[in-house]
Amino acid sequence: MKPHPRTGRIVRLSETARPRVHFHLDGSPCEALAGDTVLTAILSCADNLRQSEFGPERRAGFCLMGACQDCWVWQADGGRLRACSTLVTDGMRLLTEAPGGWPL
Amino acid sequence: MTSVAEKVVIVGAGPAGIRAAEMLVSAGIKPVIIDEGIRAGGQIYRRPPDGFIRSPRELYGTEAEKAVALHTLFDRMVADEQVEYYPQSSVLACANRTLHALTPSGRREFGYNRLILATGATDRLAPVSGWQSPGVYSLGATQIALKAQGVALGRKIVLAGSGPLLTLVATQLLKAGAEIAAVLDTSSMATQMTGLPGMLARPGLVLRGLLMRAKLGRLYHAGVRSLGIYADEQGPVRIRWRNAWGAERVTDCDMVGIGWHLRAETQLAGLAGCQFDYDADWAQWLPRTDRMGRAAEGVYLAGEGLRILGADGAEVAGRLAAHACLYDMRLPVPDSSADLRRMARYERFARGMARAFPWPAEMVRKTSDDTVVCRCEGITAGQLRDGVDYGGAEANRVKSLARVGMGRCQGRYCQLAGAELIADRAGISVCEAGRLREQAPVRPAPIGAWVRDA
């Protein structure tokens, strides 16, 4: 499979020689760098992290220091993680929307 | 029980927590240190993950030596087993001299005899129309992305707000090669001058700030009003603003960083029994302590969770809190008069800074009814005002009625604006509008961590 076709909102300014890490976003393969947070990893190939539960807009994090709780994303196994304070690892399967069957 | 057998727990491994630990260790105590970071250092001296190669000078500029000294000291205390260190661990609750924390290996309780809280600060936010859009971040977030990840959060960046971070982040981004479209300061040049006498307590810092400001040149605008972010589904497309002379301006962008100085992180202090006073200079509630940082029986505060004095002030406050802790344990303590003098000077500077780059009270009071105040749940200024009219002008009542402060961030980013809007609606002071009572857990906690295995 080809890497995720979209390019995200993040611009890498330095530290680009790190080893690559592969993960899945909404089922599509994506590439990140070792040491990226989940937030950096997702936003380097997509514009957003998740759908807001309370409004029409999508969300992409806000404080990046674990205080605002805007960046919780779903994992395919049903768990959630705070994207700004979790490092991406090889093989992660991340979702921008709740997995099927989750009552919202 | 001898006093040395007392258990001392420090929450936070930034400049204040590290210096507090150092002093306790030098007195023969092995403190427990609980910190949310992946690596110790706090926010301003945050360290990138392993594998990043920029030099300390590139990461921390003129403060590189201070950052390296703290990191080295902390790593040595951990390596020598002088401290019991729990990284990536969040304290969620505090009751009956026990901290309830979530660690990478699950839930854990930490009993303590004495507690030093060095919980730091977050950005202080005011609502701006459109700030719930993806691609609007805090100024602190903008800096963390650059420092700890080597990235810019957009291709064409506008920074808005007021305070030392505004100029600092802008110059750091420019130096790293990001494109900045505008730097919009809501403080006028006249207001900035009113803070100068106090700020001259640290003339070197004033000079450094002015040099940074000069590097921004025509990108920087003082006295900006009427901010409004316009966004499509992908995020911001432009920001509208009025300059100091009232002329309307429009700046295209795809990312906006906002923030008005800092807000002390005080949730655990509240749960630990601290009292609070409204401070007019910093326009927020700050914990009541003596000059060493004693807040309640066996509870000590240090760093920006106590007073917004910057990283240098946090280091000194960390030593003072540990000093008070040792003194109360009847252990010998070094002379702290030099540190107390330093603190007085840092506070004169910081109060000057708070006056020069103030909370935008008038802007907040004019927030339009359709502007989101609570980012967590999308609650608007209009809904908050309705809550005031129905239920009385008190922050906790308005929280119950309108849910402002009820969301996942627990009021960290709406409480101060909410109090301002309540005060405006009811014709009372912000202090009278009141402070939200903190509630455990102070971070979202997965229920699974509290369900015992059958």
**What architecture is the B3-122+263-334 domain classified under in CATH?**
3-Layer(bba) Sandwich (3.50)
pLDDT of residue A4: 45
* A window 21-80, beta carbon within 8 A of B: 34-37, 40, 43-44, 47-49, 52, 54-55, 57-70, 72, 80
Mean pLDDT of all residues belonging to chain B: 96
- Which residues of chain A form beta strands (DSSP E)? 11-12, 20-25, 28-33, 50-51, 58-59, 72-75, 80-82, 93-95
Q: Is the pLDDT reported for residue A101 higher than 80? A: no
B52 inside 8 A of chain A by CB: yes
**Residue range B351-364: average pLDDT?**
97
Please state the separation of Cα B117 from the chain's center in Å.
Answer: 14
Please tell me the distance from the alpha carbon of residue B220 to that of residue B160, in angstroms, as a whole number: 10
Query: Tokens 């609980």 sit at which residue?
Result: B34
B153 chain-A contacts, CB cut-off 8 A: 9-10, 43
Q: Kindly identify which residue of chain B lies nearest to residue A63, measuring between CA atoms.
A: B141
Which residues, other chains included, contact B336 with Cβ-Cβ below 8 Å and sequence gap of 6+? B292, B319, B320, B323
Q: Residue B135 and residue A19: Cβ atoms within 8 Å? A: no
What are the structural domains, with CATH classification, of chain A? 20-95 (3.10.20.440)
Give the pLDDT of residue B262. 97
Give the CATH number of domain B367-433. 1.10.10.1100
Q: Averaged over B210-228, what is the pLDDT?
A: 97
Q: Which helix (H) or strand (E) holds B299?
A: strand B299-301
Q: Considering chain A, what is the average pLDDT of its residues?
A: 91
Cα(B306)–Cα(B315) distance, integer angstroms: 12
**Residue among A40, A54, A60 minimizing CB distance to B149:** A40
A101 CA to chain B: closest CA distance, Å? Answer: 19
- pLDDT (tens digit per residue) in B294-322: 999 999 999 999 999 999 999 999 999 99
Q: Is there a contact between B36 and A85 if contact means CB atoms under 8 Å apart?
A: yes
The correct answer on CATH 3.40.50.2300 for the domain covering B125-260 is: no
As a whole number, mean pLDDT of residues B395-414 equals: 94
Task: Yes or no: say if B394 and B434 are a contact pair by the CB < 8 Å rule.
Answer: yes
The per-residue pLDDT for range B4-49, each reduced to its tens digit, is: 579 999 999 999 999 999 999 999 999 999 999 999 999 999 999 9
pLDDT > 90: what percent of chain A? 77
- pLDDT number for residue A7: 80
In this structure, what token pair is assigned to residue B123? 């950005």
Please write the tens of the pLDDT for every residue from B249-268. Answer: 999 999 999 999 999 999 99
Per-residue pLDDT tens digits for B105-135: 999 999 999 999 999 999 999 999 999 999 9
User: Which residue of A lies nearest to B176 if distances are taken between CA atoms?
Assistant: A13
Other C-beta atoms lying within 10 Å of the C-beta of residue A33? 22
Judged against a pLDDT cut of 60, whether residue A6 lies above it is answered with: no
Is residue B357 a contact partner of residue B192, using CB atoms and an 8 Å limit?
yes
**Given this chain, do its domains B3-122+263-334 and B125-260 carry the same CATH topology?**
yes
Sign of the CA dihedral running B228, B231, B236, B238:
negative
SS (HEC) of B110-131 = EECCEEEECCCEEECCCCCECC
* Identity at B49, one-letter amino acid code: P
- Whether omega before B441 lies within 30 degrees of 0, making that bond cis, reads yes
Looking at chain A, the number of H-run helices and the number of E-run strands are 1, 8
- Beta-strand relationship, B255-260 and B262-264: unpaired
The continuous run of DSSP H or E covering B78 comes out as: helix B64-79
Q: What is the ipTM of this complex?
A: 0.95
Domain parsing of chain B, residue ranges:
3-122+263-334, 125-260, 367-433
Longest CA span, chain B: 70
Which residue, among A98, A19, A53, A91, has the nearest Cα to B407 in the 3D structure?
A53
Q: What is the pTM of this model?
A: 0.96
| Chain A hits for B231, Cβ within 8 Å | 57
